[in-house]
Amino acid sequence: MAKRLLNFPDRTAVVGVGYTPFTKDSQVSTLTLACRAIMAALADAGLDPSDVDGLATHRVGDSVAPSLVGPALGIDDPSWYLDQFGGGSVSHAVAGQAALAVAAGLADTVVFYRAINARSEFRMGQAANPSPEVQYQAPYGLTAPVQHFALAARAHMLKYGTTEEHLGRIAVRQRAHAAKNPRALMRTPITLDDYLASRWIAEPFRLLDCCLETDGACALVITTAERARSLHRTPVLISAAAWGGGQSFLSGADPTVSAAATLAPRLYGMAGLTPADVDVAQLYDCFTYSVLVQLEDYGFCAKGEGGPFAASGEGPPVNTHGGFLSEGYVHGINHIAEAVSQLRGDAGDRQVPGARVALSTSQPGYILPATSALILRSP
Amino acid sequence: MPAPTRPTPDRDSREWWERVALGEFAVQECEGCGLRRFPSRAFCVRCRGEGRRWVAIRPVGTVESWVVSHRPFGQGEIVVTIRLDEVPDAVVHGSWEGTGEPEGGSRARAVFTAVDDTLTLVGWREDHGATGTLEDGPLATRSVSDVRSSGGAG
**3-class DSSP state for residue A180?**
coil
Q: Using CA coordinates, name the residue in chain B closest to A203.
A: B68
Distance from CA of B143 to the nearest CA of A (A): 23
Of A134, A140, A152, which has the smallest distance from its Cβ to B94's Cβ? A140
Asked if A141 has any chain B CB less than 8 Å from its own CB, the reply is yes
The H-assigned helical ranges of A83-209 are 91-103, 145-160, 164-178, 192-197
- Indicate if the pLDDT at residue A303 is higher than 50: yes
Please state, in angstroms and rounded to a whole number, the distance separating the CA atoms of residues B12 and A181: 49
The whole-number pLDDT of residue B149 equals 35
pLDDT-derived band at B42, boundaries 50, 70, 90: confident
Q: Cα A109 to the chain's mean position, in Å? A: 21
* Choice among A284, A289, A298, A366 that is catalytic: A284
Please state, in angstroms and rounded to a whole number, the distance separating the CA atoms of residues A99 and A237: 10
Q: Which residues contact B2 (CB under 8 A, 6 or more apart)?
A: none
CA dihedral for B67, B71, B73, B75, sign (positive or negative): positive
Please state, in angstroms and rounded to a whole number, the distance separating the CA atoms of residues A147 and A150: 5
Exposed, middle or buried: residue A276 (CB in 10 Å: 0-12, 13-18, 19+)? exposed
CB B91 within 8 A of CB B127: no
The whole-number pLDDT of residue A122 equals 81
Asked if B104 has any chain A CB less than 8 Å from its own CB, the reply is yes
> Which residues of A are less than 8 Å from B81 in CB distance?
151, 155, 255
CB A207 within 8 A of CB A361: no
The whole-number pLDDT of residue A130 equals 58
Q: What angle do CA B92, A370, B67 make, to 5 degrees?
A: 35
Q: What long-range pairs does A79-83 form, CB within 8 A, spacing at least 24? A: A79/A53, A79/A54, A79/A106, A79/A107, A80/A53, A80/A54, A80/A106, A80/A107, A80/A110, A81/A54, A81/A55, A81/A56, A82/A55, A82/A56, A82/A57, A83/A56, A83/A57, A83/A58, A83/A59
The enclosing H or E element of A32 equals: helix A30-45
Q: Which residues contact A287 (CB under 8 A, 6 or more apart)?
A: A145, A146, A149, A150, A153, A205, A209, A210, A211
The whole-number pLDDT of residue A136 equals 93
A284 catalytic? Reply is yes
- ipTM of this complex: 0.89
- The strand pair at A357-361 and A280-282 is best described as parallel
Asked if B42 has any chain A CB less than 8 Å from its own CB, the reply is no
**3-class DSSP state for residue A229?**
coil
Cα–Cα nearest to B87, from B59, B50, B106, B110: B59
Instruction: Report which DSSP code applies to A9.
Output: T
CB A76 within 8 A of CB A70: yes
- The strand pair at A80-85 and A357-361 is best described as unpaired
Q: Using CA coordinates, name the residue in chain A closest to B90.
A: A252
> Which residues of A are less than 8 Å from B95 in CB distance?
140-141
Mean pLDDT check: name the lowest of A195-199, A246-250, B136-140: B136-140
The whole-number pLDDT of residue A294 equals 98
Mean pLDDT check: name the lowest of A1-10, A273-282, B40-49: A1-10
Average pLDDT over residues A186-199: 98
Peptide bond into A379 cis (omega under 30): no
pLDDT-derived band at A202, boundaries 50, 70, 90: very high
Q: Using CA coordinates, name the residue in chain B closest to A137.
A: B93
Cα-flanking dihedrals φ and ψ of residue A228, to 5°?
Answer: -60, -30
Q: How many residues appear in chain B?
A: 154
> Which residues of B are less than 8 Å from A150 in CB distance?
67
Cα–Cα nearest to A323, from A166, A216, A219, A212: A212
- Indicate if the pLDDT at residue A250 is higher than 70: no
Residues A315-343 pLDDT 10s: 999 999 999 999 999 999 999 999 999 99
Domains within chain A, CATH numbers bracketed: 12-123+211-377 (3.40.47.10)
Residues B89-127 pLDDT 10s: 899 999 999 999 999 999 999 999 999 988 999 999 999
Please state, in angstroms and rounded to a whole number, the distance separating the CA atoms of residues B78 and B66: 7
CB A350 within 8 A of CB A180: yes
Distance, first Cα to last Cα, chain A: 31
Mean pLDDT (chain A) is 94
pLDDT-derived band at A96, boundaries 50, 70, 90: very high
- Chosen for mutation from B13, B14, B28, B69 (greatest number of chain A CBs closer than 10 Å) is B69
Residues A344-360 pLDDT 10s: 999 999 999 999 999 99
For residue B50, the one-letter residue type is: E
Distance from CA of A249 to the nearest CA of B (A): 8
Cα–Cα nearest to A342, from A276, A283, A295, A280: A280
CB A277 within 8 A of CB A378: no
* Choice among A81, A195, A298, A329 that is catalytic: A329
pLDDT-derived band at B145, boundaries 50, 70, 90: very low
Asked if A287 has any chain B CB less than 8 Å from its own CB, the reply is no
CB A112 within 8 A of CB A85: no
**3-class DSSP state for residue A152?**
helix
Q: Inter-chain contact B65–A158, Cβ cutoff 8 Å?
A: yes
CA dihedral for A48, A52, A58, A59, sign (positive or negative): positive
Beta bridge partner(s), residue A76: none
CA dihedral for B23, B29, B35, B41, sign (positive or negative): negative
- Indicate if the pLDDT at residue A66 is higher than 90: yes
Residue A89, CB half-sphere, CA atoms under 13 Å: how many? 21
CB < 8 Å from B in window 203-262 of A: 203-204, 249-252, 255
The whole-number pLDDT of residue A1 equals 45
Residue A216, CB half-sphere, CA atoms under 13 Å: how many? 25
C-alpha torsion A344→A350→A351→A355, nearest 10: -100
Residues A39-58 pLDDT 10s: 999 999 999 999 999 999 99
- Indicate if the pLDDT at residue B11 is higher than 50: yes
The whole-number pLDDT of residue A4 equals 67
CB A349 within 8 A of CB A211: no
Beta bridge partner(s), residue B28: B37, B54
